[in-house]
Structures are given as C-alpha cells and as structure tokens.
Amino acid sequence: MEKSVEERLAESLTATSTELLQYLPYLLQDFWELGSSPQIMSEILQTNIPSLEGMQILDLGCGKGAVSVALARTLSAKVTGIDIIPEFIEYAKSKAQEFKVSELCTFIAEDINQSIERERNYDCVVFGAVGAVLGAPAEMLPKLKQTVKPGGYILIDEAYLAANNEGGNVAYQMDYLTREQWLALFEQLGLELVDEKVNEGDLEFDEDNANIKQRADELKKLHPEQSALFDGYVQSQLDECYDLENNIVGVVWLLRVK
C-alpha cells in the first residue's frame, strides 16, 4: 500500500507515528538546522557554479530555513523555502529577518507534494535530508527535475549503503540504495553528477540526542498517556545516528540537468 503524505513526512523526521507530528515543533525546538549542513550546501554551489547572484533557488522541505537563509546570505540568491509545518515556517521567517535577508527569502507553509506540481523554472532545487516525502529515489528525482530549467541544478542531501553493508541491514527501518544504484539512476534520468561531498570523520550526535531526550521527557510529564510515543521517537533518533556511524554513508550530490 502506498504511504500517505503524513506517513512519508513522519518517516523523513524519524517519527514512529503520524500522531507524533503535532509534537515535533516542541521536540525540535532546540535546533535551527534540522538536516543538511548550510555550510556544505553553500560551499558546493559556490565551488561549482560561476555566477550565483540573483540565482533562483527552490528549497523543498526547508524545515526552519537554515539552508535557505545561508544560501541567501552567502550567495545573494533568491530562495523560496517550503515546508508543511507552519511553526517551522514562522521560525524561518524570523531568522531571515534576523540575518537581514527577508527580501531574498520567501517561505511558504505547504505540503511539498502539492508544491512540486506548481513550482517551475528555478536555477536550482534543494532537497536536503528530507527522506522519502516525495517517494522513492526513482520517483523523487523526476519530480525535482521538473522544477528546474534545462541546464539547472539539483542539490540533494541523501545516503547510500556503506560498502560493508550492501546486504541492506540498518537499525532504522528505511530503504537505502547502494552508491552504484544511485549513479545508475542519475544516468537513466539524464542527470550529470557535478560534485559529491561525503560525510567524513567522526559524527557527533550526543548533544543533539540529549536535547531531544530532554524535550521528550518534558512531554511525557505533560502527556503521560503518550510516553511510549515519545520513547519511540527518541529510540528512532538513536537508531538513525547508529546507522550514519556504521551502516550508511551520508552524501551531498550536486546534479546538473542535461
């Protein structure tokens, strides 16, 4: 059975149930960056695209706008950020004001499955660690491709199975491709791999996980009947972190539409 938008959204945020979505703004209140590194996303564009000022960028599943604001600040790009959680969008607007890039940033609260049917003619689309909200990679990539101009770019933050784990075993139950499967998909869809940035070195998750656990414990006191729900979310975060350290490889790819 095909997953609902809510189920895909929950999965992308490692929520164990759609029931948890209403609590995510509280659980994630300590974070501005919810997935991709704004620095890495900015640097990979700066390195590979000669003229960036005035570039029109679409940031789908923008979360609280950390990447959008960074692209506006560092590239002087015009960015449209879209996310389904209104509280995240309001936070993104406040950060754009704080960093004085409000005139470059437009933030919209909307399901990106609806946005993808409307948004067109961008120079670049960003899809940063959003998971399967737009479907599996073979479904997601053509949807992203249709939002950009010919010769435009797709910037995605994704993951593939580590070389020692091509049996597909992961702690957090998501389906991951191998790197070779991703590359074959790029070729099949007419996407040129321009640059690749692999997560390197030791990943530090302890502080982030401690913050999430603290917020979950606070919610358990307010809603004791939902304790299992909050405990499940904390465990899903730990499982995802374990996978990133052991079973999968995080990667940012810059693709050009041929």
Average confidence (pLDDT) over 109-115: 95
What whole-number percentage of the chain has pLDDT above 90? 73
Q: Taking a C-beta distance cutoff of 8 angstroms, is the pair 24, 90 a contact?
A: no
pLDDT exceeds 80 at position 17: no
Short-list 139, 160, 152, CA closest to 192: 152
pLDDT exceeds 90 at position 155: yes
> Is 208 exposed, middle or buried (CB count within 10 Å of its CB: 0-12, 13-18, 19+)?
middle
pLDDT exceeds 90 at position 73: yes
Average confidence (pLDDT) over 242-258: 93
pLDDT exceeds 80 at position 116: yes
Whole-number pLDDT of residue 16 = 57
Whole-number pLDDT of residue 8 = 61
pLDDT grade for 245, boundaries at 50, 70 and 90: confident
Q: Which two tokens stand for residue 239?
A: 């499982």
Whole-number pLDDT of residue 168 = 63
Backbone angles phi, psi at 192, to 5 degrees: -90, 130
Q: Which two tokens stand for residue 253?
A: 């790819």
Backbone angles phi, psi at 186, to 5 degrees: -60, -45
Average confidence (pLDDT) over 31-43: 93
Average confidence (pLDDT) over 149-171: 85
H helical segments located in 49-193: 66-75, 86-98, 112-115, 137-145, 179-188
Q: Give the DSSP H/E element, type plus range, for residue 161.
A: strand 148-161
- In this structure, the strands spanning 191-198 and 248-257 are antiparallel
Q: How far apart are CA 186 and CA 193, in angstroms?
A: 7
Domains, in order of start, for the chain: 34-205+248-257 (3.40.50.150)
Residue with the larger pLDDT of the pair 209 and 169: 209
